[in-house]
Chains A and B, each alone.
Chain A
Amino acid sequence: GAVVSQHPSWVICKSGTSVKIECRSLDFQATTMFWYRQFPKQSLMLMATSNEGSKATYEQGVEKDKFLINHASLTLSTLTVTSAHPEDSSFYICSAEPSRGYNEQFFGPGTRLTVL
């Protein structure tokens, strides 16, 4: 099956710092990747759609200057949380849709971000 990895799996940082999260498709190419945020006991909320070689498409209410997304290759997308604050603490999950052969998206294991 298709495997998606995320790094780091968890991170603790001080308020005001920036954190970069990587999402990689390990055995397939993905022209499109998605970034989600999930608060405790809640469902996944789509933050943005990341397209290789072009700008990300952000969902309404998501600040694009705060959540920087770069999809530089067909196997890597990064999410940078800039000037993180405690309210940004959450579980961030990426998913990737293979360019061919599958109907579903494959999810990474998630990154637990805690901002002190």
Chain B
Amino acid sequence: GQNIDQPTEMTATEGAIVQINCTYQTSGFNGLFWYQQHAGEAPTFLSYNVLDGLEEKGRFSSFLSRSKGYSYLLLKELQMKDSASYLCAVRDNQGGKLIFGQGTELSVKP
């Protein structure tokens, strides 16, 4: 079956660093994506990992370990505008559809 797990909620302080974990068990794998979604809006792309290791893009980094079925999104120098839902999604290798986790609601407090 397909299963993607993320924490439901997290809270962090402005200026701090937060790590959002994602574990997955899927029948196929063709990349893992992280999206940010503000309430009432569409998801926006943050990162993509298909090989093991760390991908860094400004304040955001994403890590993947395929053997462990594990990824994390690291957000540095948190800002209030980073308060949003963060979605982990795995793309399968048949047709390219994305399977989403339930999302992690991040609250950044002053």
A residues in contact (CB < 8 Å) with B: 32, 34, 42-46, 49, 57, 91, 93, 95, 97, 103-110, 112
Q: Are the CB atoms of B41 and A109 closer together than 8 Å?
A: yes
* A46-B98 CB under 8 A given contacts A103-B31, A104-B33: yes
Q: How far is the CB of B56 from chain A (nearest CB, A)?
A: 17
A106 touches B45 (CB 8 A): yes
B41 touches A32 (CB 8 A): no
B: residues with CB less than 8 A from A are 31, 33, 35, 40-45, 48, 50, 87, 95-103
B87 in complex: contacting residue of A32, A34, A44, A97, CB < 8 Å: A44
Contact across chains for B43 and A107 when beta carbons are under 8 A apart: yes
Interface contact A57-B95, CB-CB below 8 Å: yes
Excluding A46-B98, A105-B45, A110-B40, 13 further A-B contacts by CB distance (< 8 Å) are A43-B87, A44-B87, A46-B97, A49-B95, A93-B42, A93-B43, A104-B45, A105-B98, A107-B43, A108-B42, A109-B42, A110-B42, A112-B40
Provide the residues of chain B in CB contact with A112, threshold 8 Å. Answer: 40
Within the complex, what minimum Cβ distance (angstroms) separates A77 from chain B? Answer: 14
Query: Which residues from A are CB-within-8-Å of B43?
Result: 44, 93, 107
Contact flag A107-B42 (CB < 8 Å), given A46-B98, A97-B96: yes
Is the CB–CB distance between B98 and A43 below 8 Å? no
* Cβ–Cβ contact B101 & A43, under 8 A: yes
Instruction: Pick 30 A–B contacts, CB within 8 A, sort by A.
Output: A32-B95, A32-B96, A42-B102, A43-B87, A43-B101, A43-B102, A44-B43, A44-B98, A44-B100, A45-B100, A46-B97, A49-B95, A49-B97, A57-B95, A91-B40, A93-B42, A93-B43, A97-B96, A103-B31, A103-B50, A104-B33, A104-B45, A104-B48, A105-B45, A106-B45, A107-B44, A108-B42, A109-B41, A109-B42, A110-B40
